[in-house]
Amino acid sequence: MAKTATFDISSTVDLQEVDNALNQARKEISQRFDFKGATAEIEFSKKDGTLTLLSDDDFKLQALVDIIQTKLIKRGVPVRNLDYGEVEQAFGGKARQTITLVQGISTEKGKEIVKAIKAAGFKKVNAQIQEEQVRVTSPSIDELQAVIATLKKEDFGIELSFGNFRS
């Protein structure tokens, strides 16, 4: 029986790096002139994987989002894994927005990934959805590397990471 090689496709966000980026963002906000005397709050729930932003108005809320995105990018956190909620009106005319950190690959995204692999026409490659990741197997390591190259060209709306490569 031929040996099979495998790798896993996942999508995760390092919560500690998010926390570090948010601390940097809070520090910058406290020093910025345009936020002096203004409400600019960032709450981070590691358990829920959500950020809750509160600001005086939509303009300051967007500036807050821009600062957070910049800090996340510098810390190597994929901003494609942020799911932005609707801007809500909070008490006192303030604006609130909830941002969810996407952890793992949803079943729908997993089906899209498997469909893209099948559509690429790899003969001996099998892909299976396993909980929040996709496992790809093949007897040929070269084909698996070609699958990775193909998936990197596609846009699934989330940042894909390829790991657990075994041969």
Q: What is the largest CA-CA distance in the chain?
A: 70
Question: What pTM did the predictor assign?
Answer: 0.82
Looking at residue 16, what is its pLDDT?
Answer: 93
> Are residue 148 and residue 85 in the same domain, yes or no?
no
Are residues 50 and 94 located together in one domain of the fold? Answer: yes
CA proximity to 9, closest of 142, 130, 108 = 130
Q: How confident is the model at residue 137 (pLDDT cuts 50, 70, 90)?
A: very high
Indicate whether 90 and 110 sit together in one domain: no
Are 45 and 64 found together in one domain?
A: yes
pLDDT at 148: 92
97 plus 22 within the same structural domain: yes
150 and 113 housed in the same domain: yes
**19 and 89 assigned to the same domain:** yes
Does one domain contain both 119 and 92?
Answer: no
pLDDT digits (tens, 9 = 90+) for 101-129: 998 888 899 999 999 999 888 888 998 99
pLDDT of 122: 84
Position 92 scores a pLDDT of: 83
What CATH number has the domain bearing residue 39?
3.30.70.990
Residues 88 and 115 in one domain: no
User: Do 118 and 96 share a structural domain?
Assistant: no
In terms of domains, do 118 and 85 share one? no
Residue that has been written with the tokens 């089906």 in this structure:
111
In angstroms, how far is CA 160 from the centroid of its own chain? 8
**CATH for 111:** 3.30.70.860
Sheet holding 126-130, edge to edge: 126-130, 133-138, 5-10, 161-166
Three-state SS at 94: coil
Q: Of 81, 101, 121, which closes a domain?
A: 101
Regarding whether 95 and 37 lie in a shared domain, the answer is yes
CA angle 102, 131, 3 (to 5 degrees): 120
Taking only the tens place, the pLDDT of each residue in 34-56 is 888 888 899 999 999 999 999 99
In this prediction, residue 1 carries a pLDDT of: 43
**Number of compact structural domains in the chain:** 2
Question: So what's the pLDDT on residue 156?
Answer: 87
Domain that holds residue 131: 5-12+105-166
Instruction: Determine the Cα–Cα distance for residues 143 and 87; give it in Å rounded to an integer.
Output: 45
In this predicted structure, the answer to whether residue 2 has a pLDDT above a threshold of 60 is: no
